[in-house]
Amino acid sequence: MTDYVYDFARGGRGMAELLGNKGANLAEMTRLGLPVPRGFTITTEACRVFLSSGEPPPELERQIAEHVSALERAAGKRLGQADDPLLLSVRSGARVSMPGMMETILDIGLNDYSVLGLAKSSERERFAWDSYRRLVQMFGGTVMGLDNSLFEETLTRIEEQHHVPDDSRLDVCDLIRTVESFKDLIAERSGLEFPQSPAEQLRQAVLAVFASWNGERARLYRRRERIPDDLGTAVTVQTMVFGNLGRDSGSGVAFTRDPATGRTGVYGDYLPSAQGEDVVSGVRNAVPLQELAALDPTSFGRLQEYLARLESHYHDLCDVEFTIERGRLWMLQTRVGKRTARAAFTIASDMADEGLITHRQALSRVDGEQLTRLMFPRFDAAGTADVVARGVPASPGAAVGAVVFDSAEAVRRADAGEKVVLVRNETTADDLPGMIAAEAVLTTRGGKTSHAAVVARGMGKVCVCGAEDMIVDVRARCLVVDGLTVGEGSVVSVDGSEGSVRLGAVPLVESQVVRYFDSGAPPDAAAQDLVRHVHRLMQQADAARRLEVRANADTPQDAARARRFGAEGIGLCRTEHMFLGDRRRLVEDMILAEGDAERDAALAALLPLQRADFTGILEAMDELPVTIRLLDPPLHEFLPDRTDLAVRVARRDAVGDPPDEHDSALLAAVSRMHERNPMLGLRGVRLGLVVPGLFAMQVRAIAEAVVERLRAGGTPRAEIMVPLVDTVEELRLVREEAERVLAAVSEEAGVVVACPVGTMIELPRAALTAGRIAREAAFFSFGTNDLTQTTWGFSRDDVEAAFFSAYLQKGVFPASPFETVDREGVGRLVRIAVTEGRAVRPELELGVCGEHGGDPASVHFFHEVGLDYVSCSPFRVPIARLEAGRAAV
Ligand code: PEP
Ligand code: MG
């Protein structure tokens, strides 16, 4: 026969699946000999039976009755008996703590008779009636489903009638009247009576906890947190103890260390003469726990001792809820406590020093999300400006600047020393200079994988996308939000972590951790300890990890910063950003060239510029690998917008001006190149195969940069990467061409220029034929952005705004597959390519350079499948290092 009910004396912390976290920890404290009021836990299994069949298991009622009898025998009083009744609390407790589920019902067992018994035994009539009032209110709300505001309204009415400011001033008669009013309210609204039978109260409370598992908020929470729907919750039933029996009683919460800073030393709040719920709800101001030392030194001493025992037993920060009933200390709950990012690093590092945990365990106590939080500047909590618009929190951090509406203005003002926020409906490659110049980017359209978001994250800039409440009028150079018109130059504060915009300048606090990573500069005195702890845990991670961490960077400045952040090379140097700005005209000449001679001349003009780009990057990353990707985007991205051009040409025509030949030629070229699906069109390796001389020029620039660096005494390690390969034939053709160029430069320079040639794997076909492709590739780098796009058939530029929020809400997937790698689909393709590639070429180097390379959960996956490195934006390098270390312990 199945046991659905476990006494606290049976079970322990290892049984959280069956007993829930609360039940398992109560059992653990009981086993440790701590003073826990007696009780029992009804298992998650009983809940699962109820959820699947709509009925509790048939034997549950009898098992509960037996355990209640045992409690009664131990207490020497009976549940709800008319004189000196035994009273119980009922609480929900799933394996993971879950807001949105029913939490607590206190004082089960009180009814019209036992309330008199409680008044007598406690010698406190008011206390007894107040307890009864609380039970009827909690029962009516959480068990019978009435809106709690109805009870609050009734209570306020009674308080007003008696001219008292709150319920603590109501006298016994008022409370008796309140209980009657509450019972009437229940009968009126539900058609049912408040149950007088204690056993019935208990039965209904237990079933209500079971049912709360499927409450709307609980379901939503589970979906968001990826908690399976079929776990069910346990229910703990515990003998009541009272903190509200006078000055020698009280309730509190305590932590074994400070959960905000991580500092050692007991920390918490105490509320004399109150029940636990009063402390948590904050209705009255609690005093610092230390004051208990003066109020009740014996209990304080005991509490300290118990906290120390719990921490050394759990090897972690614990928090507890406790009650002192007439000078006697009771432990009501414990768990491994939540903490801030700062506290997590401090506690892990301190506990390792204290020998409480190993250094490896310390690493598993912190994570990349926490490190991310420590790396962003934040708004000073004292900043009070109201939020005027909200959007998608696309790139975290906080920034303040003057609003500008185009890239040129952003650059102009930034050059003059002003901090700016670039506001656009959406961004394109054209906005890049403005994005570089700006502190933050704010758009009205797009989501987390829009151009603005991806580029801003890459640069570590703050970004809020899709702030739909704002209307941007670029021509009038203003935006309208919340009924206000904000002109160019007005200052706004953008919070990319919460996706909000405020008017005016909210004061900023710089991240000391970034300051330290970036410059090694000593932190402020206040942050010294934190930086020391972060540094030590990073050292642990570096020692433990198998994955190398490289950066995606395409300027010497980014490369140098990435290196300071610990990057061990560049995994992706995108060359398209080198084709913008002043060079645009040369790129246009190349695209418009009529005949080989014109094209060669345009390419020849680009060559020295590209060579200088590569030389700078190779210098910044001297001795470390630098993977340079040949040009990837469709060429029309480097030409003006088709509609703008057509308007310009038509306007001249309309007013009878002679045509501008350059514009006309551009328009013809843009029209010729127009594609309906450019991301699936002429881009990547396809460009190399149809635009003569383009890739050869880039390879030559790389090779000549290598020669230059060698001559300067450097150790350049350039690698050449081919994008968007579908079939081995494409790669073979490009590789052969590249090797011809490398051989020619070697010959001209009189030095051997050896650059490995490899490929991105970013199309499903490439992954599925990786065995063949490996014959021609020195390395694979998984481009999981395009691989996600093409595997799912999702346009990475459009989907987030179009339907991702609906998909996330409906639980189609728990997180955007563009943020966290989809293990089942995209991940499977990666596994296939790893296995088949290595089978053909065991020394094949394997990395990833899509956005996922800096995502904590994805880094663990890449470790598991055996990649050699992950590559991510410079700002995410420390996060990837930490997660790679955690994946290995
Ligand atoms: C990718 O597709 O994952 C990738 C890194 O290339 P890009 O984002 O430049 O297309
Ligand atoms: Mg790509």
The residue from 319, 340, 361 where one domain ends is 340
**Which sign does the torsion angle of CA 161, 164, 166, 167 carry?**
negative
Please tell me the distance between residue 850's alpha carbon and the centre of ligand 1 in angstroms: 5
Residues 266, 326, single domain; the answer is: yes
Taking the C-alpha atoms of residue 719 and residue 760, their distance in angstroms, rounded to an integer, is 12
> Tens digit of pLDDT for each residue in 121-137?
988 999 999 999 999 99
Confidence of residue 60 (pLDDT cuts 50, 70, 90): very high
> Tens digit of pLDDT for each residue in 201-222?
999 999 999 999 998 778 877 8
Any domain includes 835: yes
In the numeric block, the tokens 């010729």 are attached to: 672
574 is in an annotated binding site: yes
Any domain includes 825: yes
Residues 28, 93, single domain; the answer is: yes
Taking the C-alpha atoms of residue 736 and residue 757, their distance in angstroms, rounded to an integer, is 10
Active-site entry in 47, 67, 318, 451 = 451
Q: Are β-strands 318-325 and 328-336 bridged in parallel, bridged antiparallel, or unpaired?
A: antiparallel
Asked if residue 850 has its Cβ within 6 Å of ligand 1, the reply is yes
Structure ipTM: 0.99
629 is in an annotated binding site: yes
Residues 167, 223, single domain; the answer is: yes
Rounded (10°) CA dihedral 6, 12, 18, 19: 60
**Which sign does the torsion angle of CA 482, 484, 489, 491 carry?**
negative
Any domain includes 316: yes
Total number of residues shown for the chain: 889
The domain total for the chain is 4
Closest C-alpha to 830, from 849, 855, 807:
849
Spell 331-345 as b/e; 16+ CB within 10 A means b: bbbbbbbebbbbbbb
Ligand 2 ion: nearby residues, β-carbon < 5 Å: 762, 783, 786
Confidence of residue 524 (pLDDT cuts 50, 70, 90): confident
Please tell me the distance between residue 803's alpha carbon and the centre of ligand 2 in angstroms: 22
Taking the C-alpha atoms of residue 49 and residue 55, their distance in angstroms, rounded to an integer, is 7
Tell me the residue range of the domain where 79 lies: 5-239
In the numeric block, the tokens 């999702």 are attached to: 794
Residues 717, 861, single domain; the answer is: yes
Mutate to test the pocket of ligand 1, among 679, 797, 849 (most ligand atoms within 8 A of CB): 849
Rounded (10°) CA dihedral 275, 277, 280, 282: -80
Residues 742, 630, single domain; the answer is: yes
Confidence of residue 603 (pLDDT cuts 50, 70, 90): very high
786 is in an annotated binding site: yes
Instruction: Report which listed range, 79-83, 376-380, 506-510, 616-620, is most confident.
Output: 616-620
End-to-end CA distance of the chain: 41
Asked if residues 693 and 600 have their Cβ atoms less than 8 Å apart, the reply is: yes
Rounded (10°) CA dihedral 37, 39, 42, 43: 60
Asked if residue 572 has its Cβ within 6 Å of ligand 1, the reply is yes
- Helix pair angle (877-888, 856-864), 10° resolution: 50
Quick one: 857 exposed, middle or buried, by C-beta within 10 A (0-12, 13-18, 19+)? Answer: middle
Mutate to test the pocket of ligand 1, among 680, 780, 785 (most ligand atoms within 8 A of CB): 785
> Tens digit of pLDDT for each residue in 88-116?
999 999 998 776 677 789 999 999 999 99
Question: Residue 398 maps to which CATH number?
Answer: 3.50.30.10
Query: Is 849 a known active-site residue?
Result: yes
Query: Is 577 a known active-site residue?
Result: no
Active-site entry in 318, 465, 755, 849 = 849
Residues 693, 795, single domain; the answer is: yes
Asked if residue 574 has its Cβ within 6 Å of ligand 1, the reply is yes
Residues 65, 170, single domain; the answer is: yes
Please tell me the distance between residue 786's alpha carbon and the centre of ligand 2 in angstroms: 5
Provide the edge-to-edge strand list for the sheet that holds 318-325: 287-288, 264-272, 250-257, 318-325, 328-336
Beta-strand ranges (E) seen in 249-317 are 250-257, 264-272, 287-288
More confident residue, 393 or 745: 745
Encoded amino acid at 95, one letter: R
> Tens digit of pLDDT for each residue in 812-870?
887 889 999 999 999 999 999 999 999 999 999 999 999 999 999 999 999 999 999 99
What is residue 119's predicted lDDT score, i.e. its pLDDT?
94
Collapse the DSSP code of 860 into the 3-class scheme (helix H, G, I; strand E, B; otherwise coil) and give the result. Answer: helix
Closest C-alpha to 863, from 873, 853, 874:
853
Taking the C-alpha atoms of residue 855 and residue 818, their distance in angstroms, rounded to an integer, is 10
Asked if residues 310 and 320 have their Cβ atoms less than 8 Å apart, the reply is: yes
* Residue 143: pLDDT over 90: yes
Question: Residue 59 maps to which CATH number?
Answer: 3.30.1490.20
> Which run of H or of E encompasses 535?
helix 528-544
Question: Residue 323 maps to which CATH number?
Answer: 3.30.470.20
What is residue 100's predicted lDDT score, i.e. its pLDDT?
65
Taking the C-alpha atoms of residue 303 and residue 293, their distance in angstroms, rounded to an integer, is 10
Question: If you average pLDDT over every residue of the chain, what do you get?
Answer: 92
Q: How many helices (H) and strands (E) does the chain have?
A: 36, 31
Any domain includes 179: yes
Quick one: 256 exposed, middle or buried, by C-beta within 10 A (0-12, 13-18, 19+)? Answer: buried
Instruction: Report which listed range, 422-426, 466-470, 571-575, 797-801, is most confident.
Output: 571-575
Pick the ligand that lies closest to the CA of residue 870. Answer: 1
C-alpha to C-alpha distances, 568 to 477, 545, 625, nearest whole angstrom = 44, 13, 8
Residues 815, 718, single domain; the answer is: yes
Please tell me the distance between residue 703's alpha carbon and the centre of ligand 1 in angstroms: 24
Output the 3-class SS for 480-527. EECCEEEECCCEEEEECCCCEEEECCCCEECCHHHHHHHHCCCCCHHH
Taking the C-alpha atoms of residue 314 and residue 335, their distance in angstroms, rounded to an integer, is 9
Residue 58 neighbours by CB distance under 10 Å = 8
Asked if residue 618 has its Cβ within 6 Å of ligand 1, the reply is no
Q: DSSP characters for 35-68?
A: ----EEEE-HHHHHHHHHHSS--TTHHHHHHHHH
The residue from 205, 239, 273 where one domain ends is 239
Provide the edge-to-edge strand list for the sheet that holds 500-503: 387-390, 500-503, 491-495, 398-404, 420-424, 440-443, 462-465, 392-395
784 is in an annotated binding site: yes
Mean pLDDT across 679-704: 96
Encoded amino acid at 685, one letter: V
**Cβ neighbours for 615, distance < 8 A, ≥ 6 positions apart:** 705, 708, 709
Collapse the DSSP code of 103 into the 3-class scheme (helix H, G, I; strand E, B; otherwise coil) and give the result. Answer: coil
Any domain includes 737: yes
Encoded amino acid at 87, one letter: L
Encoded amino acid at 528, one letter: Q
Spell 614-643 as b/e; 16+ CB within 10 A means b: bbbbbbbbbebbbbbbbbbbbbbbbbbeee
The whole-model pTM stands at 0.82
Write down the H helix ranges in 693-846. Answer: 694-711, 728-749, 764-768, 770-773, 784-792, 799, 805-809, 826-840
Collapse the DSSP code of 598 into the 3-class scheme (helix H, G, I; strand E, B; otherwise coil) and give the result. Answer: helix
Confidence of residue 379 (pLDDT cuts 50, 70, 90): confident
Residues 216, 269, single domain; the answer is: no
Residues 798, 843, single domain; the answer is: yes
Residues 205, 294, single domain; the answer is: no
Asked if residue 762 has its Cβ within 6 Å of ligand 1, the reply is yes
Please tell me the distance between residue 723's alpha carbon and the centre of ligand 2 in angstroms: 7
Taking the C-alpha atoms of residue 374 and residue 552, their distance in angstroms, rounded to an integer, is 22
Asked if residues 859 and 887 have their Cβ atoms less than 8 Å apart, the reply is: yes
Please tell me the distance between residue 861's alpha carbon and the centre of ligand 2 in angstroms: 20
Residues 182, 285, single domain; the answer is: no
> Tens digit of pLDDT for each residue in 281-337?
555 667 889 999 999 999 999 999 999 999 999 999 999 999 999 999 999 999 998
Pick the ligand that lies closest to the CA of residue 572. Answer: 1
Asked if residue 348 has its Cβ within 6 Å of ligand 1, the reply is no
Asked if residue 511 has its Cβ within 6 Å of ligand 1, the reply is no
Question: Residue 562 maps to which CATH number?
Answer: 3.20.20.60
Q: DSSP characters for 621-651?
A: TTTSEEEEEPP-S-GGGGS--HHHHHHHHHH
Ligand 1: which residue has its CA nearest to atom 6? 783
Any domain includes 666: no
783 is in an annotated binding site: yes
* Residue 374 Ramachandran class (φ > 0 left, ψ -120 to 50 alpha, else beta): alpha
The residue from 239, 271, 290 where one domain ends is 239
Any domain includes 664: no
Please tell me the distance between residue 621's alpha carbon and the centre of ligand 2 in angstroms: 23
> Tens digit of pLDDT for each residue in 717-740?
999 999 999 999 999 999 999 999
Mutate to test the pocket of ligand 1, among 449, 454, 578, 786 (most ligand atoms within 8 A of CB): 786
Asked if residues 289 and 324 have their Cβ atoms less than 8 Å apart, the reply is: no
* Residue 459: pLDDT over 80: no
Taking the C-alpha atoms of residue 505 and residue 420, their distance in angstroms, rounded to an integer, is 12
Quick one: 662 exposed, middle or buried, by C-beta within 10 A (0-12, 13-18, 19+)? Answer: exposed
Taking the C-alpha atoms of residue 442 and residue 459, their distance in angstroms, rounded to an integer, is 14
Taking the C-alpha atoms of residue 1 and residue 7, their distance in angstroms, rounded to an integer, is 16
Quick one: 121 exposed, middle or buried, by C-beta within 10 A (0-12, 13-18, 19+)? Answer: middle
Rounded (10°) CA dihedral 833, 837, 838, 844: -110
Any domain includes 125: yes
